[in-house]
Structure 1
């Protein structure tokens, strides 16, 4: 009886130690390797180079085509997001809505997607600082998006997540160059 009880205690002790080690390893991996990291998002406006600033007084809307690159190379999990809408702002006012279609960003991969925005020229040129910006030589826009979806690890672990992105887009009037700088954050 005593040896049977002692064997049971040893077995329970080994099992508990094993479970603690597995929990510690999984926790360590979660906070290092498996923890979702911010994807790198870049917006490339296409077509603004063809726009003459003085011709915008004669059009109602300007269609701005965009290529959006989501680089997920730092994550071991894929990210599948639902249809979303990004908003383009000029000096605090929304001047365009950009539809972003449902898609999957593969683990350690990259996704290029294209979309377009109809810039509401009337809202831009009626802004009190528009002519000051033209005189300064650049128009600065901000695009914001919230992509709601799921992070998938090993195809069986699914975690709800939202990728938030803010892109500052600067259009140089003289050179007609467009530059964008994006920052992203992921919320679990």
Structure 2
């Protein structure tokens, strides 16, 4: 009889401890461990390469050096695969840059230097080009998607996707730029 009473007490205590553990983990998840949006800043640094040819067709290609800064405010690291960022001007695709696989550690900032190959013919051929040049600002958009794994406490690995869009204004006469980026993360 005493054994059954002890078994019931043990089961009750174990159930209460498991319930407290689950509640604690849920509170941690919704407060500290809840995924937060990464902050992405894409800054054009300078002209890298210009290629102009007259044969067989007139073409102009230029490359712009860019620094992409990604701030990870989460308590989990993010290991991402090879990806790319696409550049658009007036809704038309005008360039792309590769982004090599890597890791953004928990609560850290990763700076990526890359070169964006711009198809200048598409920029110049866009009907918005000359009015924008006279206004002094070329307004471009970039889209970047990264897939990888979120590494939580070095133990748990979850599949994740992050998508960033940036509005980039290149001020023609001043030779500088500004950007406004928005990011979202999906687990």
TM-score over 0.5 (shorter chain) = yes
- Cα distance per residue 1:36-89 (max 9 Å; x no partner): 2111111111115xx9xxxxxx861111111111111x2111001000011000
Structure 1 residue 131: Cα displacement: 1.5
More displaced, 4-13 or 83-92?
4-13
**Alignment partner of 1:118 is 2:117:** yes
Counterpart for residue 141 of structure 1: 140
Runs of 4+ in structure 1 displaced over 4 angstroms?
none
> SS of the residue aligned with 2:173?
coil
- Cα distance per residue 1:143-173 (max 9 Å; x no partner): 1100100110111100111111111110112
Larger strand proportion of the pair: 2
Equivalence map 1:1-188=2 (5 Å): 1=1, 3-47=2-46, 60-72=60-72, 74-188=73-187
Normalising by structure 1, we get a TM-score of 0.90
* Aligned equivalents of 1:66, 1:174: Cα separation in 2: 19
Unaligned runs of 5+ in 1: 52-57
More displaced, 9-18 or 39-48?
39-48
> SS of the residue aligned with 2:98?
strand
Q: CA RMSD in A?
A: 1.8
Larger helix proportion of the pair: 1
Normalising by structure 2, we get a TM-score of 0.91
